[in-house]
Chains A and B, each alone.
Chain A
Amino acid sequence: KQEVTQIPAALSVPEGENLVLNCSFTDSAIYNLQWFRQDPGKGLTSLLLIQSSQREQTSGRLNASLDKSSGRSTLYIAASQPGDSATYLCAVRGLSRYQGAQKLVFGQGTRLTINP
């Protein structure tokens, strides 16, 4: 059974710092990995999706990497801003097709606080 772990559970850094969030998964047979952002009391917003054949994806100040062999992904946030404060979740999809549906297994998230 796939298990996804995110450490640390919470992280607080000063504004302007570059930071890395970690995600690990137990079964390397994945189809893709996604990073989401969740603001308090809100739904999840997709940030980046990495296909299993890819090593990284970039969007603005965000860069996500994937190392399937070691079962790890990282989300790099450059020049952090107070508006980046949120919970960040990673999720993996296994190889089974499920008729095209995205059956995702989520980590518990890292609650990020950027201090002005």
Chain B
Amino acid sequence: NAGVTQTPKFQVLKTGQSMTLQCAQDMNHNSMYWYRQDPGMGLRLIYYSASEGTTDKGEVPNGYNVSRLNKREFSLRLESAAPSQTSVYFCASSEGGQGSAGANVLTFGAGSRLTVL
């Protein structure tokens, strides 16, 4: 059971370049999320998708776009990378809905470390 898989694990970009971080989950979860983790700032929500076909902004969406390609996949795109986007990016998923407590547990990927020069 792979859980949540993110690619790539590491990436170095130059300012202005674009790239897409890929995320896939195999747990049939409805909700998916993109977080960034920075020293001293903790994890902050960039975008989320409550269910297939919907996406919404989180706390720090500027400079990013997302696509919920299907129920399994949720990608994060940087159109014109900036040094401020240097961070570790985490994708997560949860069963979603208003059901049992177990439905609210988040499963995280291993992270993608992005450096923008």
B114 to chain A, nearest CB (A): 14
Cβ-defined contact, B108 with A101, below 8 A: no
Mark contacts of A25-50 with chain B using CB atoms, 8 A cut-off: 1 yes-contact digit, 0 otherwise.
00000011010100001111110010
Q: Does B24 contact A (CB under 8 A)?
A: no
Q: Does A103 contact B (CB under 8 A)?
A: yes
The answer to whether residues A101 and B90 also contact, given A43-B110, A44-B108 and a CB cut-off of 8 A, is no
Cβ-defined contact, A43 with B111, below 8 A: yes
> CA–CA, A46 to B105, complex, Å?
7
Q: Does A100 contact B (CB under 8 A)?
A: yes
Q: Does B97 contact A (CB under 8 A)?
A: yes
| Size bracket of the A interface | 20 to 34
Count A-B pairs with CB separation below 8 Å. 79
> CA–CA, A108 to B108, complex, Å?
17
Which A residues are CB-close (under 8 A) to B50?
98-101
A38 to chain B, nearest CB (A): 9
Number of B residues with CB within 8 Å of any CB on chain A:
33
Cβ-defined contact, A100 with B96, below 8 A: yes
B6 to chain A, nearest CB (A): 8
Q: Does B94 contact A (CB under 8 A)?
A: yes
> CA–CA, A4 to B108, complex, Å?
20
Interface residues in chain B, defined as those with a beta carbon under 8 Å from any beta carbon in chain A: 4, 30-31, 33, 40-45, 48-51, 54, 56, 58, 90, 92, 94, 96-98, 101, 103-111
